[in-house]
Amino acid sequence: MARPARRPGNLPADATSFVGRRRELAEVRQKLAKARLVSLVGPGGVGKTRLALRAGTELARGFPDGTWLVELADLRDPGLVANAVLAGLDLRDQAAEPAELVLSYLRDKRLLLVVDNCEHLLAATAALLSRILHTAPGVCVVVTSREPLSVAGEHVVTVPPLDLPLAQASLVQVRQNEAVQLFVERATAIGRFELTAANASAVVELCRRLDGLPLAIELAAVRTRVLSVAQILPRLADRFALLTGGQAVAPRHHTLRATIDWSHDLLTADEQALLRRLCVFGGRFTVDDVESVCAQDLPAAGVLDAVASLVDKSLLIRDDVGEVACYRLHETMREYAGIKLREAGEQESFERRCAEYYRDRCLESLPQVRFRLLEWLAWMDVEIDNIRSVLGQCVLRGDRRLGLDLAAAAGWFWATRATSEGVRWLDELDAGEHLLAQFMRGFLAVLQADADTAGPLLRRAAAAAERAGLVPVQVHALTLAAIVAHTAGEDGHDLLEAAAGLAPNDHLSTISVRQAESIIGLFDGDLATVRTAAADGIRRCRAVDDLYALEMMLANLALATPDFDEARPLLAEALHIARRLDDRVAQHHVLGALACHAAATQQQRLAAQLLGATESLRAGTTLRPYLTPALDTARAATRAALGDTTYQACLEDGRRLSRADAIALALGEPAPAAATSTAAGPLTPREAEVAHLVAEGLSNRQIATRLHISDHTVDSHIRRILVKLGCTSRTQVATWITDAGRSGSSPEPAR
């Protein structure tokens, strides 16, 4: 039988403990019990996102197909809302219009979508969610926005600031107040702060002054590193008085701006300049990006220190991707920085610097992308929101040349990650006579199985490359055009022969010819040609580390190899590469081929499971037409061998597998490790080690020193520990560890 599925979803672990909001969480649960769309509405900085994520985590058990976060904060183009939903659901948009793919995928799912930061894309978000709710009866949605979506069936939960402590409250009452708890948690996390009878009244006054706004409280808590609460109060009070014309109490809508202004004015001039310039990035960014785009007239040696200082002051958020240290601005801070950038008269110049930086980086890397594809895709996964932002500006400003240079140079990202989005950008910018853009548009059409578009575009690109004397581009265009012709039922041999006659003696051109020869050979049933071409292609791919072509060459050779024992390791290697590249098209294709292999070698249950997995993972991809007959044969043989009932049961087992589990099953790997069943409970051994050190009262820095790991790694472990144990604070983790030690077994995670 197929391995047990793990609960799917992508909700991030809390970076810091979750404080309060019991009333609002209860209201969200109550409303979702009778409605399918709940909008959390409130001003910026009030904590809508944290509340939505906490609600999603607590409600996850009720959604067997997972709880999925869709982030819209970094998106500026309403036309990409459906793409953002696809990305949130871990789908790709190769073969279908994104909105239609979303609807098709969700039609029979039971899951929860958490759609965050919709206010700047209200109309597009409302339109798509309305279609989802109409089409997919098992889907529920929690939205965060500064205003309601105003669609049928929407239930609104107003997210107020945290409850304020009473001015004359006792110390016990003060400790129980949510706003005070948040301030104390954040102040304690950065230093040796303790709430006492001596400072309680000042903390109460500060929380009241900040109107219970979580972001404002967190910004103020940062200052306890260098000031007492009693010292913070008059400084903040002066800022409020200045902003409100001397009124004693600031209106609530001024509070956050006053707090940010105060934090901003305490920065050095260089830090202020850096903060305002960071708003030109559309999403996450690295220190390298900052140094290249924002450091004009700033001391180069001080940029890293300035970034660290902004993080320390909670004006900049560290948001790593894998092993890459990344940063981003809170949406409210991005708006504030944008105002400051315009006031400084720097908006146009730094937006231009940002656009040229990403164009140049992509163009410079293009000649080597095929040889360093893993590294380049990892960089693009970090930078894609910035590239989207630049492309959007190019469309708005009519900067067609820069936009086409960038969109075409990013082509390998579109090919492996977001094909229909790449098509959209190239069409919107109008590839016209831009040779690279024209070729890339034709290549993407091939991936979409759109022969009517691909054929003419690739022939024009080949002619343009010939005129420009760019023989390698001409060869690539001709080989793709030959494949397209065969796919469309025409004869592509003339195009292939022309390409082979032109191909210079370089690996990439020859690989392109060999790939076309092997694919056309499979269409023609000329397996001897397939074996010869694919074998030479594999040798050349290995020589230059061309993983993208290698995975398909291996699969093609396997399909032309009559000896099943020889074919399987070829398919296994192809699937390993497709997993490393996260190439969904190749994964789908090779899983189908392995299903056929299992059926041919009498592994009927495995074949049925892989057939089911191939069906469920097909969303957004197209299958090579020459594999279809083999799959039909495998289905018939497997059903006949197992009988209808067993076949259908195994097929359903395969359909329920996650992508990772399906690939592991196909490769004969053990199931991904489930939660540890020792006294560590659901924690891994390293997480249990970290949790015990938390219970001993060690800080993150002390834990990092003790275990010889980075502070960031400790942060990541603690986030996962909090989520796995259902805890909201380090104190609860310590209690859990103590209870586990007493019982000698693992207690239930906190709920």
Each residue of 150-175: pLDDT tens digit?
Answer: 999 999 999 888 888 887 788 888 88
Closest alpha carbon to 517 in 504, 505, 535, 502? 535
Tell me what percent of the residues of the chain surpass a pLDDT of 70.
90
- Residues 238-269: tens digit of each pLDDT: 666 544 433 433 344 467 777 888 888 889 99
Query: The domain 22-158 is classified under which CATH number: 3.30.70.100, 3.40.50.970, 3.40.50.300, 3.40.50.150?
Result: 3.40.50.300
Say whether pLDDT at 612 is over 50: yes
How far is 713 from 700, CA to CA, in rounded Å?
A: 9
Q: What is the pLDDT of residues 401-420, one digit of tens each?
A: 999 999 999 999 999 998 99
**The CATH number of the domain covering residues in 269-345:** 1.10.10.10
351, pLDDT greater than 80: yes
pLDDT winner (highest mean) among 153-157, 172-176, 677-681, 746-750? 153-157
Mean pLDDT to the nearest integer, 519-545: 94
Query: Which class is 685-743 in CATH?
Result: mainly alpha
Parallel, antiparallel, or unpaired for β 139-145 and 37-41? Answer: parallel
Going by pLDDT thresholds of 50, 70 and 90, the confidence category of residue 544 is: very high
- The structure's pTM equals 0.80
User: Would you state the structure tokens that stand for residue 8, as one six-digit string?
Assistant: 């799917």
- Tell me the C-alpha distance between 347 and 340, whole Å: 9
Cα–Cα distance for residue pair 618/606, rounded to 1 Å: 18
Give the residue extent of every domain in the chain. Answer: 22-158, 171-265, 269-345, 585-666, 685-743
User: Are the CB atoms for 538 and 557 separated by under 8 Å?
Assistant: yes
Question: Sign of the CA dihedral 77, 79, 84, 87?
Answer: negative
Q: Give the list of residues 6+ apart from residue 751 with CB closer than 8 angstroms, or none.
A: 726
Average pLDDT over residues 531-548: 95
H or E stretch at 316? none
What are the tens digits of pLDDT across the range 585-598? 889 999 999 999 99
The tokens of 703 are what? 């834990």
Report pLDDT for 9.
Answer: 86
pLDDT of 141 strictly over 60: yes
Dist. CA 359–CA 380, nearest whole Å: 12
Terminal Cα distance for the chain, rounded = 32
If 0-12 CB within 10 Å is exposed, 13-18 middle and 19+ buried, where does residue 527 land? middle
For helices 200-209 and 229-243, give the axis angle rounded to 10 degrees: 20
The pair of three-digit structure tokens given for residue 361, joined into one six-digit string:
């980086």
Exposure of 674 by Cβ count < 10 A (0-12 exposed, 13-18 middle, 19+ buried)? exposed
Task: Count Cβ atoms within 10 A of the Cβ of residue 565 and give its class: 0-12 exposed, 13-18 middle, 19 or more buried.
Answer: exposed
Check: CB of residue 507 under 8 Å from CB of residue 543: yes
What angle, 0 to 180 degrees and rounded to 10, lies between the N-to-C axes of helices 564-581 and 547-559? 160
Confidence of residue 672 (pLDDT cuts 50, 70, 90): low
Q: What secondary structure, in 3-state letters, does 433-488 show?
A: CCHHHHHHHHHHHHHCCCHHHHHHHHHHHHHHHHHHCCHHHHHHHHHHHHHHHHHC
Q: Which of 9-23, 541-555, 713-727 has the highest mean pLDDT?
A: 541-555
Average pLDDT over residues 666-692: 65
Confidence of residue 14 (pLDDT cuts 50, 70, 90): low
For residue 198, pLDDT over 80 is answered with yes
pLDDT > 60? residue 77: yes
Task: Tell me what pLDDT residue 606 has.
Answer: 94
Question: Is the torsion defined by CA of 150, 155, 161, 164 positive or negative?
Answer: positive
269-345 shares its CATH topology with 685-743: yes
Contact between 38 and 142 (Cβ < 8 Å)? yes
- Which residue's structure tokens are 């989005």? 421
Give the pLDDT mean for 667-683.
Answer: 57
